[in-house]
Amino acid sequence: MGILIKGGRVIDPDTKLDEVTDVYIEDGQIQKVGKMKQGEADQVLDAKGCYVMPGLIDLHVHFRDPGQEEKEDIASGGKAAAKGGFTTVLAMPNTHPVIDTASRVNYVHHKAEEVSPIHVLQAGAITKGQKGTELADIEEMIQAGIPAISEDGKSVMNSQLYLDAMLIAKKHNIPVMAHCEDQMLVGSGCINDDEKAAELGLPGISSMVENIIVARDIFLAQDAGVHLHLCHCSTKQSVHMLQMIKETGCSVTGEVCPHHFTLCSEDIPGDNPNFKMNPPLRRQEDKEALRKALKEDVVDVISTDHAPHTLKEKEGSMKNAPFGVVGLETCVPLVITELVDKGILTPMQMAEKMSWNPAQILHLDKGSLREGKAADITIIDPDVEYMIDARTFVSKGKNTPFNGRKVKGRVTATICDGQIVYQAGQMENDL
Ligand code: DOR
Ligand code: ZN
Ligand code: ZN
């Protein structure tokens, strides 16, 4: 019952292999990396001209399950992830109710096993109900299998409480994933505080809103000795701080999302909620700093912050719409078009930032194409050109600023635990 992935450019950050060869999988595992004869497999996937990478891992998604399944649920989110080339995702806990107990963690993990084609891991909230006043039972959630804690959607503004949570995470060797936003400073802002906000007459969000909390969280994490992962870095100062603190040997990593390395506030065409996300699109100079930080490996991870909302919520003015854009089905083409094709990232760096590094941060035995590892594999054709069409998304969310954008590169197949969970052209609405 083996599958032979034939003649692709096999890129493995673990063994540092970057070579045109074959990968043979059977019994859910990678059996062999190297030239094989066609006859030895039951199924052959022709990967000529394609990248063959370890299954992509998205450290940052919102699946809205439980409570807001009209936006997304674990089944639709899992399918969208598979189509996007992801074999593992980490779901953020700002659901309704918030994932702040072991039984709610179990709900997500069990449902994912039943309905999701790919692995869905759940991050635990830091405070009860994300109210910022009392710690959630973090140890109980760790026993239930959370690989990280996060208060994503907001910051824990009480530094003492946050420090207490960090010490628990440190004790159990799991990372703290930080959404950095000063709750008081952000006010009712909805886009970056610059000329665009003035032009559109919209309240702004300054870079300080993010920068101040990045600095605080670094100091707190250093004191606790815990691994800090900075979510969705959007400002030049955030990545400068990341670089500085890395140079001191501190255990900190950072991620950047495709919307932040592709767009800036100048690209906002008007009062359009599909361009509203948190943190917001910043200035051109911030975007350039993020790209440079990706290139120089200051930024370790590319994540999507996949944040589906209903069409109705994303109508009208940015003033009232919720923050967030979908990202699972546009990430690979944006990385290829904006970073790989422009010589900012090598395909190997792409595999590091989208698979190997995320696996290391969560201490997962993934992100590798070594023989004997679970067969989580993504096959990508980097040359095919097309236009992004939100109507083809399998995510329930269609809220993207990239609709109609010309891109290059697409996922041709996603394999999870040895099973083909996505194959281009074989899904409803597919291109
Ligand atoms: O854009 C965002 N969407 N930023 C957040 O902080 C929350 C997220 C969501 O849950 O929609
Ligand atoms: Zn966030
Ligand atoms: Zn988020």
C-alpha 278 to ligand 1 mean position (Å):
6
What does the pLDDT read at residue 431?
52
Q: What is the pLDDT of residues 131-173, one digit of tens each?
A: 999 999 999 999 999 999 999 999 999 999 999 999 999 999 9
Read off the pLDDT band of 418 (50, 70, 90): very high
Query: Tokens representing 78?
Result: 């899992």
Distance 277 CA to ligand 1 centre (A): 6
Q: Kindly report, residue by residue over 189-237, the tens digit of the pLDDT.
A: 999 999 999 999 999 999 999 999 999 999 999 999 999 999 999 999 9
Classify the C-alpha dihedral 49-332-336-57 as positive or negative: negative
Predicted confidence (pLDDT) per residue in 96-107, tens digit: 999 999 999 999
Is the CB of 280 inside a 6 Å radius of any atom of ligand 1? no
| Per-residue pLDDT tens digits for 251-302 | 999 999 999 999 999 999 999 999 999 999 999 999 999 999 999 999 999 9
Does ligand 1 lie within 6 Å of residue 386's CB atom? no
Alpha carbon nearest to ligand 1 atom 3, residue: 324
Longest dimension (CA), the chain: 65
pLDDT score, position 115? 98
Continuous segment of H or E residues that includes residue 83: helix 74-83
406 token code pair: 């010309």
User: Considering only CA atoms, which residue is closest to atom 7 of ligand 1?
Assistant: 153
- Dihedral angle sign, alpha carbons of residues 39, 44, 49, 53: negative
Lookup: tokens for 177: 């994933």
Cα separation, 285 vs 109, whole angstroms: 40
Q: Which of 65, 193, 217, 305 is catalytic?
A: 305
- Predicted local distance difference test score (pLDDT) of residue 426: 77
Cβ burial 320-351 (10 Å sphere, 16+ → b, else e): ebebbbbbbbbbbbbbbbbbbeeebbebbbbb
